[in-house]
Structure 1
Amino acid sequence: MSREQLVEMTRSLVAHGAADTMEYADEVVRIPASAYTDDALFDLEKRQIFRRLPLMVAPSCELPEPGDYKAMDICGVPLLLTRLKDGSVGAFLNMCKHRGNPLAEGTGNATRLMCGYHGWTYKNDGTLIGVADPKDFGAIDKAAHCLTRFPVYESAGLIWATLDPKSELDIADYLCGYDGLLDAFGFENWHLFSQRTLAGPNWKTAYDGYLDFYHLPILHKDTFGADFYNRANYFAFGPHQRLSTPSKFAIKVSGDDDQQMDLEAMSDDELPYEVLVQGVWTIFPHISIASFYGGGLRGAMISQLFPGNRVGESYTTQYYVMAEKPEDEDSIKAAHEQFDFLEIVVRDEDYKTGKRQHEALQSGLLDEVLFGRNERGGQVFHQWVEKLTNASNAELKDIFAREMAQAAE
């Protein structure tokens, strides 16, 4: 993790805040409205993006102990994550090699997983160790029938997997060094406090909101307040982006008292990590990370977005993770209140609006939507969606090799 990079970004935000300016995109960008409503494009995006690119599938604290596992379905692919004895993570196709029945559901802890259909048994590293009634079944090479492995990568307290077992795209290259900055959160030592899943609109409609501060004092006037900031500067690392409001001030949370810090008056060494990671961090194509405080305890909401079965549907799992596990009744209550508040903001404001927006776009009477010069995050996101949807596998590998090389310069 480069503290110097984080300080450099913070100083840029402070300078813009002091000057009452922000960074603008070169021009207003127009996106075809059909990009949100076309069924064929939606299916192509699921294949080319969600079933081909690395996805952040879990925070590390969701599988903290050896033997922990998690089963999930992503765009029709059954995925099984396991925490192995040596502390590493395995990612597998959640299908028994006998007839394809899923081995696990939900979450749990087991060093062995038995298929509930015929009793074939696997170690949690994917090794087939038992075939029921082997004399009756017939000769089989168990080593040739282990679970199908997916590429997996764990860094900065987050777990990525690629849902293509033949993928040659290096996950570290895909992240363009971004995980080194995310490491500043310290998620590998955090606690998973709570989680839930919400239904949302088209996945791009939903994701647009995470990249947009422009709407905050309007849509969220009754929750965040009408005087909430609506400007954001953007920092890009390949397709991944951090957005944060340009300001020379930050709030220091200490117990029940909030204190305003003048960042312009502080030295680089005095800037706390909470300030260096403020704002919203997005991991393409489907993750948003934002810091919050429940009862004075540092936390973050990690929003994990996936397309649904139809073009106008998505679902988002919200993970509320905390730097310290709340122990007393008041702290636990305050953390729940913070998480419940965020549910209202996303479900009743962002996603409710997104669903209405999508229904209107499906009329076909609006040809295009606009992203202003002050909405560069959305512009960059849609440019990367189009670029990666249309890229071949060979081009995909080259794209991120170049991005990684540029990040290393």
Structure 2
Amino acid sequence: MSRQKLMEMTQSLIDHAEAGTMELTDDVVAVPASDYTDEARFALETEKIFKRLPLMLAPSCELPEPGCYKAIDMAGIPVLVTRQKDGTAQAFLNSCTHRGNPVAQGSGNATRFTCGYHGWTFKNDGDLLAIASPKDFGTVDKAQFCLQKFPTLERAGLIWATLDPESALDIETYLCGYDEMLSHFGFDNWHLFDQRTIPGPNWKTAYDGYLDFYHLPVLHKDTFGADFFNQANYFAWGPHQRLSAPSKFVQKTGSDEQIDLTEISPQDWPIDALLQGVWTIFPHISIASFYGGGGRGAMISQLFPGKTVGESFTTQFYVMEHEPTDDAVRQGANDQFAFLKTVVADEDYTTGKRQHESLQSGLIEKVWFGRNEGGGQVFHQWVDRLIDADDAELDRIFASQKLDDQLEAAE
């Protein structure tokens, strides 16, 4: 059913391309400039979105085998993600249950974690294994001192968790069926080629760029080229969106050759043609396909707010369908990843920082999203909706959204 949906979306892109049209929203929409600069608003977004909604913590291939782990700070919360003995992924609060000191740093492979403060030791499934000098410390029930677990789900080669141990929001419900679409990438069996973390502007300023093809031939004229497409159609699953340019042509896997999809039976359309464009996962993930030296790859961008309203940081994961065994493919992937740093860090985020500094003057009251920028409109509408919702309403929003998606799929 999900492949059929991909084919329908691709056909709509072809139809728009042949008609010389694109999908437009009903009107131009304004967003208060203070939404980007107000510290109180920023604190509310951090609490109501990043500390309450499921977040994509890692691609599965970052933790490829039992014992793998990584420690990361997410919106001010120390998080430890492990691949447990049974192969499942689990996220924990990276905080010793004795005094709160983080039990792990960086990444690696370990069956246990020992706190560097007093020596309490935990298994990688979170269970407290031992405390130092137990006779001196006193009797404790170890079962009551396990690492605190976060609700965790691994699906479509991606690992999600909600950074609220008491959250009742089902992660699968939150994904609105989008995980089924993402499963067609096949990330479960991909290889993590490289990764890096780069600083950025306000998190919404940064995220706006992932939902916008309008700027491509202008801001990126020296990298992508001035003839690059600037139109996008948008497809939504709740707050999660895919944007793709109306076109009947796609790049043939592993070459510069263009394929005309109208000359091929839809049943024979290659999967990478069905997945073209940018796939965003609210509130902080962007996925886009690329080719380095002929090897099929994708960049997964993981965006988090920084410590202040004008800061963010993005970890870029370059994943590949196959681990390169050929020097040419390996060099091509390196070149592709370096090119993408230029595009994002030197062009998108540098521009975003200048934009934020300008907005901080307080002299611009509104920023605008055109009828051709539907993704940005929808994104900001969801931000407003979710920070205004209490926990009970949050559950209802996504339960209702899941039902709507099921009814649509059944039609």
5 Å-filtered alignment, 1:391-406, equals: 391-406=389-404
Residue in 1 that maps onto 2:97: 97
**Structure 2 Cα separation of the partners of residues 107 and 389 of structure 1:** 33
| Equivalent-residue separation in structure 2 for 1:329 and 1:2 (angstroms) | 36
1:104-131 deviations in Å (ceiling 9; x for gaps)? 0010111111111111111111100101
The equivalent residue for 2:132 is: 132
Distance in structure 2 (CA, Å) of the matches to 1:276 and 1:143? 48
Specify the alignment match of 2:249 in structure 1. Answer: 249
Which residue of the partner structure matches residue 325 of structure 1? 323
Q: For residue 328 of structure 1, report the CA deviation from its aligned partner.
A: 2.1
Shift of 1:265: 2.1
Deviation at 1:138, TM superposition (A): 0.4
**Deviation string for 1:26-72 (max 9, x for gaps)?**
10000000000000000010000000000001000000010001100
Q: Deviations over 1:168-227 (max 9, x none)?
A: 000000000000000000000000000000100000000000000000000000000000
Which of 257, 260, 263 pairs up with 1:259?
257
Q: TM-score, normalised by structure 1?
A: 0.99
Matched, 1:334 2:328: no
Partner in structure 1 of residue 15 of structure 2: 15
* 2:280 maps to 1:282: yes
In 2, the alpha carbon distance for the partners of 1:198 and 1:150 equals 26
Pairs within 5 Å for 1:43-62:
43-62=43-62
Partner of 1:347: 345
Aligned residue for 1:293? 291
- The CA deviation at 1:267 is 1.2
Letter of the 2:284 counterpart: H
Kindly report structure 1 stretches of 4+ aligned residues shifted beyond 2 Å.
Answer: none
Aligned to 1:158: 158
Q: CA deviation at 1:250?
A: 1.2
Distance in 2 of aligned mates of 1:203 and 1:235: 22
How much has 1:85 moved relative to structure 2? Answer: 0.9
CA–CA distance in structure 2, aligned partners of residues 328 and 272 of structure 1: 24
Q: What is the CA deviation profile of residues 72-99 of structure 1, one whole-angstrom value per residue up to 9, with x for unaligned ones?
A: 0011100000001111011100000000
Q: Indicate whether 1:213 and 2:207 are aligned.
A: no
* Unaligned runs of at least 5 residues, structure 1: none
Gaps of 5+ in 2: none
Looking at structure 1, the residues matched to 85 and 406 of structure 2 have their Cα atoms a distance apart, in angstroms, of 33
SS at match of 2:222: helix
Q: CA deviation at 1:332?
A: 1.1
**C-alpha RMSD of the superposition:** 0.7
Residue identity in the other structure for 2:28: V
Aligned to 1:375: 373
d(CA) in 2 for partners of 1:245 and 1:391?
Answer: 33
Separation in structure 2 between the aligned mates of residue 328 and residue 249 of structure 1, nearest angstrom: 28
Q: Helix, strand or coil for the counterpart of 2:301?
A: strand
Per the alignment, residue 37 of structure 1 pairs with: 37
Aligned partners of 2:2, 2:266: CA distance in 1, in Å?
13
Q: Which amino acid letter does the alignment assign opposite residue 184 of structure 2? A: A
Amino acid at match of 2:226: A
Report the Cα distance in structure 2 between the residues aligned to 1:235 and 1:3, rounded to whole angstroms: 15
Deviations 1:132-169 (A, max 9, x none): 11110001110111111100000000000100000000
- In the alignment, the residues of structure 1 paired with residue 406 and residue 322 of structure 2 have an alpha-carbon distance, to the nearest angstrom, of 33
Indicate if the aligned counterparts of 2:253 and 2:272 stay in contact, CA closer than 8 A: no
- Residue 302 of structure 1 aligns to which amino acid in structure 2? I
Give the aligned partner of residue 384 of structure 2: 386
Residue 202 (1) aligns with residue 202 (2): yes
Cα distance in 1 between the residues matched to 2:278 and 2:17: 17
- Structure 1 residue 253: deviation in Å? 3.4
- 2 CA distance for matches of 1:94 and 1:261? 48
Name the aligned partner's letter for residue 274 of structure 2.
Answer: L
In 2, Cα distance between equivalents of 1:387 and 1:264:
40
| Equivalent residue in structure 1 for 2:305, among 302, 307, 319 | 307
Name the amino acid aligned to 2:403: A
3-state SS of the aligned residue for 2:160?
strand
The yes-or-no answer on 1:116 pairing with 2:97 is no
Aligned to 2:267: 269
Distance 2:329 2:15 in 1: 36
SS in 2 for 1:25: coil
Separation in structure 2 between the aligned mates of residue 283 and residue 314 of structure 1, nearest angstrom: 17
- The percentage of aligned residue pairs carrying the same residue is 67
* Match in the other structure for 2:76: 76
Q: List per-residue Cα deviations over 1:236-267 (Å, max 9, x = no partner).
A: 0000000000011111133xx42211112221
What amino acid sits opposite 2:23 in the alignment? E
Distance 1:229 1:155 in 2: 32
Q: For 1:313-333, what per-residue CA distance to the aligned partner results, in whole angstroms no more than 9, with x for missing partners?
A: 000000000001111222211
**Aligned counterparts of 1:259 and 1:53: Cα–Cα separation in 2:** 41
Q: Which amino acid aligns with 1:358?
A: H
